[in-house]
Structure 1
Amino acid sequence: MPGIKALVGLSFTGAIGLTFLMLGCALEQYSNYWPLFVLIFYVISPIPHFIAKRASSDSDAASSACRELAYFFTTGIVVSAFGLPVILARILVIKWGACGLVMAGNAVIFFTIFGFFFVFGNNDDFSWDQW
């Protein structure tokens, strides 16, 4: 049952993050949908972790070069997701209020992604390896 509660909590925080993103795009004073490009970063941010987990599953070392490279790529993706709204606001494609809402949505969504890996990343009774 704790897994179900964690999943419900993570889905709730993910919905809050997406609400901030949609508010930054759809409010009448902003009405510009360019910030939706950060959705690409949400999708590709876990990919390096999955690749590194699959590639380094044979070794039980606490740290490996593959895992460190995955952390590096994931950090670059997350920083890019926070940088895109700032760049768009700086060149006056979106307004600064929309940038703030998108940044708040980014923080919540990436916290949710991190929480997912924290809760479901352990190799205890529940594992995604069975899929």
Structure 2
Amino acid sequence: MSGGAIGLTFLMLGCALEYYGVYWPLFVLIFYVLCPIPHFIARRVSDDTDAASSACRELAYFFTTGIVVSAFGFPIILARVGAVCSVGCFL
């Protein structure tokens, strides 16, 4: 839980400091909100807790992994395009 709080603090610092002053990295919050949704859907759909793995659960892991990778990749793409500076991308 504290890792998420530290991550959000750095995200706000990367956007709100006057030197950086660009709020494009806040779109990463969309990925933070979307990340647990496939897991919740898979848990509701697949009620078989005895099975080691189910196709629905594996698909949810796949989508969650894609969303997490996108959350890391989006600031890098913004830095590459020049919308944010590299320090703001790092934060």
TM-score by length of 1: 0.66
One-letter code of the match for 2:6?
Answer: I
Shift of 1:98: 0.4
Shift of 1:59: 4.8
Q: Does 1:97 align with 2:82?
A: no
Task: Tell me the equivalent position of 1:88.
Answer: 78
Report % sequence identity: 75
Alignment match of 2:48 (pick from 55, 58, 63): 58
Shift of 1:58: 3.2
Find runs of 4+ consecutive structure 1 residues off by over 6 angstroms: none
Aligned residues between the structures: 91
Q: Which runs of 5+ in 1 are unaligned?
A: 1-9, 102-131
Matches within 5 A, 1:1-131: 10=1, 12-101=2-91
**Residues 3-25 of structure 1 deviation map (CA, whole Å, 9 limit, x = unaligned):** xxxxxxx2x43322211000110
**Residues 56-76 of structure 1 deviation map (CA, whole Å, 9 limit, x = unaligned):** 113520100000000000000
Q: Which runs of 5+ in 2 are unaligned?
A: none
TM-score by length of 2: 0.94
Taking the aligned partners of 1:96 and 1:13, their CA distance within structure 2 comes to 22
One-letter code of the match for 1:35?
Answer: P
**Residues 95-119 of structure 1 deviation map (CA, whole Å, 9 limit, x = unaligned):** 0000000xxxxxxxxxxxxxxxxxx
